[in-house]
Amino acid sequence: MSNLTYERPFIQKLNTGTMNKFGTRTEYAPVTHLESVPVKRIVADYGSPCFVISERQIRKNYQDAVRAFKTRYPKVQFAWSYKTNYLDAVCNIFHQEGSWAEVVSIFEYRKALNNGVPGNKIIFNGPDKSAADLELAVDNNSLIHIDHFDELYELAALLQASKKKARVAIRVNMDTGVYPMWDRFGFNYENGQAWNAITKIMSQQEMELVGLHCHIGTYMLSAAAYGTAAWKLCDLAVNIKTKWNKSLQYLDLGGGFASANTLKGSYLQGADVIPSIDDYAEAITSTILNSAIRQNELPMLILETGRALVDDAAWLVGSVVATKRLSDGRRATIMDFGVNLLFTAFWYNHKVSPAQEFSHHTEDMVLYGPLCMNIDVIRDSVNLPLLNKGDHVVVHKVGAYNMTQWMQFIQMRPKIIIIDMEGKTHIVRESESLETMLRYEKRPDHLSQSSL
């Protein structure tokens, strides 16, 4: 019989009063494997911390979403939101599945071209497109989604000078009953600005208005808001048909569907409060089908879903650097990853699981990152089994935005690996190193050395 692991003595604070309405906690289970790959092996082969992506989960999420929409409305096209996760390997999974590219900067635009996405399957969103960016998009016959009047006039001038034609849409912002309203992007529906932009575009011979776009927010907890948004886009489309006898090729409802992460301050777990993809699909498709748009003129429905397709398809594996007591007696655990890698820790309570067997003693603790920075907190208060230096943990649902919004501050960014459909692992992004950083630095002669 093997020896039992040593368990140190401890003093536990007993909480009197009512129990949490969900009863005692039962959610703990060590996560020793990601799919079939042992966490220990990931750390040994790729180091800690390390992002791990599941190809299988991405494909499944995509196929489930397509099914939810296509079974209700056959003319559906997804466009992968690059900024949510623009690793080439991830983008190419979506492109292999049939997704177009949705980009919000020239950097992302070039990344999509570099991934082999045909220009006419790139949707160019965002408020900052230079004249040169617009020209490139025009030459590639991309879908240009105009954000404001300055962009509209710049594009008009450019097209008039070059005698080229562009396929355009406008981004429309509107009141969907969810506040604060996202009115900083696009043209407003209620005050007539959107209609004004449409009439300007229709008067330009070089611009063809092919669609209407909106992206009403992110992590939207209301499916009904999408019904409202779709209704307002349909209303504009019907008015365009009435005034110019022109039917639009597509309505683009943007992204923003919630992922199963739990928002800070939410009493219930994310998975228990978010609408399902079917709920969103039902709200959008039934609104379009029930609108006054004629059956044979129904537009293609484009979706730019980001976080809901990728958040639960990645984990962050990390290790405990140290444990300590704070002056108020609370337990603190310091991890080798912080908000530099987990930007989303600012608004999500990420689920963290120990990656090895543990004793049954749990304690409320703070999870800190390794940065010398007070705001580097992964969880303000989380009840976890006691972790020891060197233990590994797995942070769940980190696939959206972390690998694009991460920051290089006092530490290098780590490796990102993917587990393929056969359970094999591949590096999809190398860890950065001192050389990575020095490559961009220059030392003027007089600052090239010192003599201490």
Ligand X SMILES: *Cc1c(COP(=O)(O)O)cnc(C)c1O
Site residues (vs ligand X, CB under 6 A) = 81, 83-84, 102, 104, 125, 215, 218, 254-257, 304-308, 400
CA 10 to the chain's CA centroid: 41
Q: Which is nearer to ligand X, 348 or 368 (CB)?
A: 348
- Give the 3-state secondary structure of residue 383: strand
For 432, the token pair is 């950065």
**Distant-in-sequence, close-in-space partners of 138: CB < 8 Å, separation ≥ 6:** 144, 155, 158, 159, 162, 164, 165, 166
Q: Minimum distance between the CB of residue 143 and ligand X, rounded to whole angstroms?
A: 12
Q: Minimum distance between the CB of residue 185 and ligand X, rounded to whole angstroms?
A: 7
Rounded to whole angstroms, the Cα distance separating 366 from 346 reads 14
Q: Which is nearer to ligand X, 195 or 219 (CB)?
A: 219
Q: Which is nearer to ligand X, 256 or 370 (CB)?
A: 256
The answer to whether 407 and 89 have CB atoms below 8 angstroms apart is: no
For 351, the token pair is 């689920």
- Taken as a whole, the chain contains a residue count of 452
Q: Minimum distance between the CB of residue 125 and ligand X, rounded to whole angstroms?
A: 4
β-pair type (362-368, 377-385) = antiparallel
Q: Which is nearer to ligand X, 173 or 333 (CB)?
A: 173
**Distant-in-sequence, close-in-space partners of 435: CB < 8 Å, separation ≥ 6:** none
Q: Minimum distance between the CB of residue 372 and ligand X, rounded to whole angstroms?
A: 31
For 423, the token pair is 């359970």
- Give the 3-state secondary structure of residue 315: strand
Q: Minimum distance between the CB of residue 321 and ligand X, rounded to whole angstroms?
A: 31
Q: Minimum distance between the CB of residue 79 and ligand X, rounded to whole angstroms?
A: 8
Q: Which is nearer to ligand X, 307 or 351 (CB)?
A: 307
For the chain, count helices (H), then strands (E): 13, 20
Q: Which is nearer to ligand X, 307 or 379 (CB)?
A: 307
Q: Minimum distance between the CB of residue 341 and ligand X, rounded to whole angstroms?
A: 18
- At 145, the amino acid letter reads H
Rounded to whole angstroms, the Cα distance separating 183 from 170 reads 13
Q: Minimum distance between the CB of residue 445 and ligand X, rounded to whole angstroms?
A: 45
Rounded to whole angstroms, the Cα distance separating 293 from 362 reads 58
Q: Which is nearer to ligand X, 257 or 315 (CB)?
A: 257
β-pair type (416-419, 425-429) = antiparallel
The answer to whether 373 and 342 have CB atoms below 8 angstroms apart is: no
Q: Which is nearer to ligand X, 256 or 369 (CB)?
A: 256
